[in-house]
Amino acid sequence: MQKRKMEVPCLLGFALAFWFLMAGTALAQEVTLRYGHSAGTTLNYHLTLDTPGLQASKKVDVDVIREVASVTAEGVMEVSTTFQNGIMVVNGISSPLPVSGKILTALLNRRGEIQSTASTGALADLFARAGLGTSSVSPDVFRSLGILEFPQDPLSPGEGWSVEKNHTFPNGDSLNVTYAYTLTGFVSYGGYECARISIDSQPQFSLYQDFPTLRRGLQVNGQLRISGILLFAHNEGRIVKLEETLETDAVSMMIAYDGMADIAPIYQKTFVTLELQ
């Protein structure tokens, strides 16, 4: 009996020591975030953009194929993104998405820094009408497709970093955005061990568009709130899932050349999901 009384505290002490050891190891876990694609890699994603509304609703479903054509010795990847099987549903009515079959290409390094971009065909025309240019595309377009710019140093859970983006429109207006990213922990998802990264940004914007043929211009002032989560398979270096909410709260003012103005509020919330298939 005396022997059994001594075993209990010994086993309890061992269990506590083991628990503290494992907890300390988990807390000390850190990761260097890098894209690990090799030449010939093909990744298939599905992208959904859902904008519900009481009077009008829009939803986009499209397959996104990401192909790596080449990788230099320095780790610069030539990546092409093709949109296929796109469907757009507006107030319950479906129609083909006009960017289906179009290609967006980029050169980026392992940290996700975009070195150059290009679009082709109807996609180039679409970006041109949006003020993004025909021969190059705002790097932030790729961020919305899950390609974040990672920090140079390794991270532990709870640590974060920020990235500033700027885009100047043809009329001279600019949009400055600062993204705050935080490594919140590690989760298992879709058969991958993933770094869970939170995304947050709240840029203010003021944009003006002139319509000479209509003899009027449009001024829009407001705030954009971007929040979400990226699941990144850090061992393989690939995006597994992106979930974002884009919330626009703004006021538009249509100003006629004779000085008359029409003012209207703008509120829109869009839910974005990009997931590896």
Residue 97 confidence (pLDDT): 80
Q: Give me the pLDDT at residue 6, please.
A: 45
Distance from the Cα of residue 220 to its chain's centroid? 24
Q: Assess if residue 66 is contained within a domain.
A: yes
**pLDDT above 70: residue 76:** yes
Q: Is residue 40 part of a domain?
A: yes
Kindly report, residue by residue over 56-69, the tens digit of the pLDDT: 889 999 999 999 99
The tokens describing 79, both together, are 């990546």
Would you say residue 109 lies in a domain?
yes
Whole-prediction pTM? 0.80
Residue 197's nearest CA partner among 138, 155, 140, 145 is 155
CB contact set of 4 (below 8 Å; sequence gap of 6+): none
> Where would I find the beta strands (DSSP E) of the chain?
42-51, 58-71, 77-90, 93-96, 103-108, 114-119, 160-168, 174-189, 192-201, 204-211, 216-233, 238-256, 261-276
Give the per-residue SS3 of 146-186: CCCCCCCCCECCCCEEEEEEEEECCCCCEEEEEEEEEEEEE
- State the CATH number of the domain containing residue 141: 2.30.230
Is residue 128 assigned to a domain?
A: yes
Give me the domain span that covers residue 178: 31-276
Establish if 11 belongs to a structural domain.
no
CB atoms within 10 A of CB 19: 10
Is residue 13 situated within a structural domain?
Answer: no
Three-class secondary structure of residue 104 per DSSP: strand
C-beta of residue 238 within 8 angstroms of C-beta of residue 35? yes
Mean pLDDT value of segment 117-122:
70
pLDDT, one tens digit per residue, over 129-180 is: 444 444 444 556 788 888 999 999 999 999 999 999 887 766 677 778 899 9
- Name the most confidently modeled range: 2-6, 18-22, 150-154, 264-268: 150-154
- Using pLDDT thresholds of 50, 70 and 90, give the confidence band for residue 260: confident
CA within 13 Å, CB half, 67: 9
d(Cα 175, Cα 161) in Å, to the nearest integer? 20
How many residues are recorded in the chain?
A: 277
| Number of domains the chain contains | 1
Residue 219 falls inside a structural domain: yes
Instruction: Give the per-residue pLDDT at 12.
Output: 56
Half-sphere exposure of 4 (CA within 13 A, CB side): 1
Q: Are 242 and 230 in contact (CB under 8 A)?
A: yes
Residue 9 included in any domain: no
Is the per-residue pLDDT at 221 higher than 60?
yes
